[in-house]
Amino acid sequence: MEWAILFVGSVGAGKTQAIRTISDIEVVDTEAGATDETALLKQNTTVAMDMGVMQLGAHDKVRLYGAPGQDRFDFMWDILLDQSRGVVLLIDHSRPTPVEDLAHYMAQLTRRMQSRVLPIVIGVTHADMGGPLNLDAYRNYFGETTLIGHRQAVPVLEADARSLHDVKTLLLALTSMLDMNERFPARGSSNKSLHA
């Protein structure tokens, strides 16, 4: 078995770090020196993709893709989404309006996935740098939103991208959702629309 998981989120949310934390190979990245407003946040930024691999056994592995956070590189999202079975969306809690960031990225993902339904897990990062963390503020967003024409549970977890435990927890939640979709496909949908 070989399949892919896509990490998306704002610049500096921890996508590259999360992949480095969990990957069993040295991460292939396309980081370049930041030259726009991103330079105020960090020295280097992903401009195409990051790629790592997590070995699950002798013949099983998961490719880990990281998409650029800047909107001007968002064409890579479509390419990477086409190859992915699930999405880890990292939201930087230290940004001025992180719930608005969540809404922005969910709208982008929903539009780009069109009729496909991919499981999504939310990881809230940089909780130690922002205001007090209340995960309900993020979870409440999903109480008011329908994803791609039907309701699908979206786990929202606090995560430190440097923590192997936290990144594994995000991926375990996502793989559990993939397993549930395999066992109990949504009514009226073919497996093709549920899985890449």
Q: CB burial class (10 A; 0-12, 13-18, 19+) of residue 59? A: exposed
**Distance from C-alpha of 61 to C-alpha of 195, rounded to nearest angstrom:** 17
Instruction: Give the closest residue to 26 by CA, choosing from 59, 50, 64, 52.
Output: 52
CATH class of 2-194: alpha beta
Give pLDDT, residue 86. 93
Instruction: Give 29's strand partners.
Output: 50
| Backbone angles phi and psi of 5, in degrees to 5 | -120, 135
- Which pLDDT tens digit goes with each residue over 139-153? 988 876 544 444 567
Give pLDDT, residue 89. 97
* Spans of the chain below 50 pLDDT: 34, 38-42, 47, 146-150, 188-196
Residues 6+ apart with CB under 8 A from 18: 7, 66, 88, 90, 123, 159, 161, 167, 170
